[in-house]
Amino acid sequence: MKKIIALFAFVLLVAGNLLSQVKGIVVEEVDNGGAVKGRTIRVYVVLENDSDQVYMVYGEKAHPLSIKSDKPFYQSPLNGPTSRTLNRKLSKEKPELGFDSWLTIGSEDNYDNNTEALINTDAFEKTGDDLTTSDGAWYCLPNSKQSYAGADKKVLIMQLTSEGNMEGNFCLMGRNKKGENFHYYNGAFTFKQSSK
């Protein structure tokens, strides 16, 4: 019995350490200069180390994913649901394209980006509706450089533009610098239009 309790305590200790790889979720506003209506934000995961990774954002039955706004998300007809489809050159020619709402792992445009979405994004992309799933994800390959935190220890996971209040709940999968995988449940953010 003592061996079982000791093993259980060890498992909890290891799981707790791996869960602590995520230090928080940060929302930063991007000045869109009035190129589009509403306010633009970027959501980042802050990690313990600059070489830690996030390679998946997901929702599952016990911890569903939900990205919501009380007004539609801005969606440019020139881009898709992920930053992988955002053409860097075209976004310089058409400023409003740079403030499109999209999902990502670490990359803000199509350059060297392999972000994929295994989630139904039709309503999110076509009409700016909420994005929800209890069995879906967006991700990049775990060995992709875009999944690594930089010196600021942050990994970008989405950009959103809306005239409404925005909020989200999601889970994360990543790896620490020792190569140990971790899961982080119930990541969350809130952005109110009244905030400055």
pLDDT digits (tens, 9 = 90+) for 6-64: 333 333 334 444 556 999 999 999 999 999 999 999 999 999 999 999 999 999 999 99
- Hey, CA dihedral for 108, 45, 151, 146, is it positive or negative? negative
* Rounded-to-integer distance, Cα 45 and Cα 24, Å: 6
pTM (2 d.p.): 0.89
Structure confidence by residue, pLDDT tens digits, 21-36 = 999 999 999 999 999 9
Instruction: Summarize the confidence of residues 85-105 as an average pLDDT.
Output: 91
Rounded CA gap, 107 and 84, in Å? Answer: 8
Residue spans of the domains in the chain: they are 2-191
Q: What confidence tens digit (pLDDT) does each residue in 127-185 have?
A: 999 999 999 999 999 989 999 999 999 999 999 999 999 999 999 999 998 999 999 99
- pLDDT value of residue 19: 53
Quick one: tokens of 189?
């953010």
Give per-residue pLDDT as tens, 110-125.
999 999 999 999 999 9
CA 196/CA 191 separation, integer angstroms: 10
Asked whether the beta carbons of 149 and 47 are under 8 A apart, the reply is: yes
H or E element: which one contains 13? helix 2-19
CA dist 119 and 57 (Å) reads 11
